[in-house]
Structure 1
């Protein structure tokens, strides 16, 4: 083993299904895997979905919360459509082209005309008055009825009780729409069927059989589409696309079998389902919206002959919502009028006055509501902060200048963004301790159980740290006050890049006015498993004060990772073998060397036992993905027959109770109740029917699974067939998981250097930044 040479770095392996952005020029793996499988009952596909996931035919979601099958619309399929002049925004004039439009009146002329009209009405009323008006004679409708009822009671014609017991007159009144309900995140995947009635499942199975689809889809369909799922699928077979893992080719084959010649590529049921499917796939990649041009191009690639009409129909049916980004109107301050959603606005639709074009986006309502709720909630926190204590002494006694700056900033603002690496986590801990010392209710929330334990140790108070999921579910933390808000005065959210937009909306909705919120994290790491880029958007919008830590990560690993963060892959001095590179020629050698490192070399040379060494690789599939590595590591470290659904006592596992959440643990035993786990000291029981979908071996993890956690030693495996899965955020995240030692099994030649030196582009399309900027945050 030699120290990492300058300009070189470990190489990638099988495609990472945890990478947020798929290759835009290649077809989605889900589309390839799903094609032609409508008749299959389907085992797991090797397309980046994990062992714990069922194949496309079963409809199960990726338990990581990410899905390689979720590639967005393919730009390669885009057609060169010119803007539709008839749909252009800002067109004016009468319907008859020969009749000129009436000249517009000035504001002064309009005001004078209104005053003349008012004077004329007053003079007319005066002229009509011949004498006093009898009370009530000019009343009509409900007012006249009310007056008549009162006089009837006064004259004795009716008793007062009759008046009060009679129904109130029906007065038309304007109603205010109720606010949208708060979306609570279920502990399991929202796609998982929950107790569908047996008769509903049987009815769906009959429809599926008639269409040549596998019976295994019956339970997921009944759970997703409800009790009337059979009728729904019979009337609209393309609703099959609402099941996870089902692709357009499957749905088209199913529809043809049911409808025969009664369907075609431009069937409105098909095009509406395709639009929704494209947005769902994009959301799995992290997008909360897509440019309308991309959607139309993807529809054209799916044989839709009129993508414009298809998009317009989907909007009219409420499948998607339309948003616009563009210059504000100078007079109203509102965004300029957007072109029709079906028009080719992605190329840039002129506003009519030579300004920048208006861009049209399409999005699903759940993410639109979440982003708007989050933007409003953050603005509320910014404006509701009040001085509640004297923080000057706490800042003066802070352990570092950066911690002091964070304390002073949090004292004066309701929302603060804090950025820094692993060493900078001590600064939020100092803030929590300082706030607690002032008598405030202060709490820190992390992405992982490991992060919670490290934060509790840094603060010196186990009760001061929770996981964010545990806090929102009520399983951890101080609970809610009488108004339903989390009972805290200061909440620090560490690992903020891992917060998706729906979680962010739930979080701010749970905070009372006056609560201080600090979002802290490392902007260089991989983003959230769910849709959105909350932390990045808050930073980009400058929605609040930002405190940048000046505390560097120590040691050779910290130096290496810091360089990667700015696009440099440098040679670092590693006298204690803190950083080691292991060159390999192929994936088979990569697996062999990885097992050797974990089982022998790292324990002997570094003193870190195998149980404290974590393997991280680029993807689940492939010859050196997590599946292959976990199989090889189990055979070496804990051999057994796998008598408990593939697991044995002592197996290292990752429990995924909900998408995007990975809880490491060890198998204890199994019985009729389920698989018994020890997850970081907390016992957990996974029912038998959920083991396959939510438990996997975890000697090897992907970088997304490892986000928010650290181990004494890490082995990063980069086989040659995963070069395309590498990016600077991926390398930054994977290399930064080791505390004392980092071994890199390198098989990608210069691909790693290229991945690090290339500037990462914004990989997700979201609306939060625009909303925050519009709110004046």
Structure 2
């Protein structure tokens, strides 16, 4: 049956805020077809579910979804929870950690991950330490050896189950919501698990992961009349992300199933007149699509953002409760230039209730139309929360740029909905202006163009090594760019591939701080006047300036005014912000950008990174180039492999079930 899966009694550990750990390309597991033996055994397990051979208490079959219908009122619990106070640390926990060779200072994070029974859980299963964000398998193995002695073995089922959950969470951090069984087995083999296939099956039996079966994209959904089995793709996933994608698919189908537009002749909005008055053909096309459809997809570059803004303005003019949600505070600020202040919000502010129309007694947003810009940044959980929050009959527009780096969390919502063809797709025909726009547009199609830049809008600065790259960058930010373009140093952003390395954000920020705001770093490494990047949640970056510090923590000033970051969160959520990674910079724009490409970054470059970094510049782009021909090769190469997700298959099943 479509989407059949096995529900088990427990969930795999979910990481909570803890030790910082960087996600790199090597974190992503491959998505190759399952090996015949593993696939056959897992397929047999699924057949056992369907035939009733396995206990009903352990399994259930997810039925094909019925056509969407109006649903019962929902509670206002879709928004992410606000920051919780630190968990109480059990008295015996620090001593237990020390006995296992772990630092006592880890205790608050262990308590946050495992709760008040943390010491009891770790005593019974030392590998539960892997539930703490940033703890690596070798560290958990060392901890287990110290506590268990000779009883600690690579094949211990506690170890293999914890490793399976850790692999799934690591894959989620790299963007996947599910994995092929073979990918999990390969990851276990890399950590010396003697029988990885058996360990995968054990994790399924123990409830650490769920099993799903779907038709492959474009594959048959029914068995052939002769009895030949239809193609099936087996995936493993964690309940948290499985429920998010299923909730999102159900929510999108509900919007489509409850949509009942009223013609202008019957007193409904006059969308045709609004389209006629639109400032551009693409905006008119978008308005026309929204008039007739509940879910509409819109793609384009930076200039195309004006089109969903025009849509929201037109909808408000027709008397609808319409809002536009951006990914970042900076994106909301840019929207506010074209919309009333209350119409422009951020996705996070909309969900937590601090921005937007508020919710009714059923917990639903008081909105008739929501246009989500930066939909390329939407992960599965945030998108599910938005879909769940919209009332029946509302319209949803997902607008984004598929050439940009994807969401920081698991899921590729925009790409999956586009691939499923779940709504009309309006492709903007509005080009990004100027030499920077021409350069970025070429990168999007795999060409690194030599654009005409008579006003030095695009400048290439060669760098022989990382040291010279740092020197040239500081010179550009503090002198050359401000002098040539009248842009203050604080309006220039440096973007580099990573935090580490000889020209990473740490080195560049230290060099820029020395020139722009030298000081002893007396407040947890920061001084008043430091530019910082505050990341209160994965994928969210708020640009701010350090103002002061007191008993409440470090005080920052951003676009929304002054706010504190508690002392225990500063180390994990605040970094100096003169230099950022492209992931941190996504959703923001600056008058000038200096993109730093040291020679040791060549292997990590891809088209999406280059497109994202270069497109953050509004007026001027300097490229400190130390990668030689690797830059053009990265742009010309095909895009990185897609993430492994289930949303497209779920939407295909919803469409087939409803006959749409």
Scaled by the length of structure 2, the TM-score of the pair is 0.88
Q: Distance in 1 between matches of 2:46 and 2:87?
A: 52
Q: Distance in 2 between matches of 1:328 and 1:559?
A: 34
1:520 aligns with 2:409: no
1:591 aligns with 2:470: yes
Deviation per residue, 1:389-436 (Å, 9 max, x gap): 221111100000100000011111111000010111111111011001
1:608 aligns with 2:608: no
1:197 aligns with 2:153: no
Aligned-pair distance for 1:561?
0.3
1:363 is matched with 237
1:623 corresponds, among 502, 507, 518, to 502
1:708 is matched with 587
Change (3 A) 1:590 1:729: same
1:414 aligns with 2:294: yes
2:146 corresponds, among 257, 272, 283, to 257
Q: Distance in 1 between matches of 2:40 and 2:432?
A: 56
Aligned-pair distance for 1:325?
2.8
1:440 aligns with 2:331: no
Deviation per residue, 1:638-690 (Å, 9 max, x gap): 11122222111111111112221101011112222222211114211112222
Change (3 A) 1:761 1:593: closer
Which protein shows a greater Rg?
Answer: 1
Aligned-pair distance for 1:196?
2.7
Q: Distance in 2 between matches of 1:230 and 1:90?
A: 36
Q: Distance in 2 between matches of 1:422 and 1:529?
A: 20
Aligned-pair distance for 1:306?
2.0
Change (3 A) 1:466 1:91: closer
1:389 is matched with 269
Aligned counterparts, 1:567-582, within 5 A: 567-582=446-461
Q: Is the Cα–Cα contact under 8 Å of residues 187 and 657 in structure 1 kept in the other structure?
A: no
Q: Distance in 1 between matches of 2:223 and 2:247?
A: 20
Q: Secondary structure at the match of 1:186?
A: coil
Q: Is the Cα–Cα contact under 8 Å of residues 70 and 282 in structure 1 kept in the other structure?
A: no
Q: Is the Cα–Cα contact under 8 Å of residues 74 and 363 in structure 2 kept in the other structure?
A: no
Segments of 5+ residues of structure 1 without an aligned counterpart are 1-55, 93-177, 337-350
RMSD, matched Cα:
2.8
Q: Distance in 1 between matches of 2:235 and 2:373?
A: 31
2:285 is matched with 405
Q: Is the Cα–Cα contact under 8 Å of residues 320 and 365 in structure 1 kept in the other structure?
A: yes
1:292 corresponds, among 161, 181, 184, to 181
Change (3 A) 1:87 1:323: closer
Q: Is the Cα–Cα contact under 8 Å of residues 79 and 300 in structure 1 kept in the other structure?
A: no
1:477 aligns with 2:371: no
Aligned-pair distance for 1:630?
0.6
1:671 corresponds, among 532, 545, 550, to 550
1:659 corresponds, among 527, 538, 562, to 538
Deviation per residue, 1:70-112 (Å, 9 max, x gap): 8144799x998756877765999xxxxxxxxxxxxxxxxxxxx
Deviation per residue, 1:441-464 (Å, 9 max, x gap): 1110000111101111022x1111
Change (3 A) 1:335 1:609: farther
1:67 aligns with 2:62: no
Aligned counterparts, 1:191-270, within 5 A: 194-198=85-89, 200=90, 202-270=91-159
Q: Is the Cα–Cα contact under 8 Å of residues 74 and 297 in structure 1 kept in the other structure?
A: no
Change (3 A) 1:407 1:179: closer
1:427 aligns with 2:303: no
1:637 aligns with 2:516: yes
Q: Secondary structure at the match of 2:337?
A: helix
Aligned-pair distance for 1:746?
0.2
Deviation per residue, 1:738-763 (Å, 9 max, x gap): 11100000000011111100110433
2:426 corresponds, among 547, 550, 563, to 547
Q: Distance in 1 between matches of 2:393 and 2:86?
A: 42
1:685 is matched with 564
Q: Is the Cα–Cα contact under 8 Å of residues 654 and 697 in structure 1 kept in the other structure?
A: yes
2:50 is matched with none
Q: Distance in 1 between matches of 2:203 and 2:578?
A: 45
Q: Distance in 1 between matches of 2:474 and 2:640?
A: 35
Change (3 A) 1:353 1:86: farther
The answer to which of 399-408 and 257-266 deviates more is 257-266
1:455 aligns with 2:414: no
Aligned counterparts, 1:693-732, within 5 A: 693-732=572-611
Aligned-pair distance for 1:697?
0.9
Aligned-pair distance for 1:220?
1.2
Q: Is the Cα–Cα contact under 8 Å of residues 289 and 766 in structure 1 kept in the other structure?
A: yes
1:186 aligns with 2:186: no
The answer to which of 669-678 and 485-494 deviates more is 669-678
2:52 is matched with none
Structure of higher RCO (CA pairs closer than 8 Å, 6+ residues apart): 1
2:384 is matched with 505
Deviation per residue, 1:679-721 (Å, 9 max, x gap): 1142111122222221111111110111111111110000001
Q: Secondary structure at the match of 1:775?
A: helix
Q: Distance in 2 between matches of 1:334 and 1:180?
A: 37
Q: Secondary structure at the match of 1:665?
A: strand
Q: Is the Cα–Cα contact under 8 Å of residues 499 and 534 in structure 1 kept in the other structure?
A: yes
Aligned-pair distance for 1:605?
1.3
Q: Distance in 2 between matches of 1:324 and 1:648?
A: 54
Segments of 5+ residues of structure 2 without an aligned counterpart are 1-14, 48-72, 262-267
Aligned counterparts, 1:259-408, within 5 A: 259-326=148-215, 357-387=231-261, 388-408=268-288
Q: Distance in 1 between matches of 2:219 and 2:470?
A: 62
Q: Secondary structure at the match of 1:385?
A: coil
Q: Distance in 2 between matches of 1:270 and 1:539?
A: 40
Q: Distance in 2 between matches of 1:59 and 1:746?
A: 35
Q: Is the Cα–Cα contact under 8 Å of residues 326 and 335 in structure 1 kept in the other structure?
A: no
User: For this pair of structures, how many residues does the alignment match?
Assistant: 610
Deviation per residue, 1:189-226 (Å, 9 max, x gap): xxxx843324x1x3122222222222122221112111
1:47 is matched with none
Q: Distance in 2 between matches of 1:209 and 1:622?
A: 32
Aligned-pair distance for 1:571?
0.6
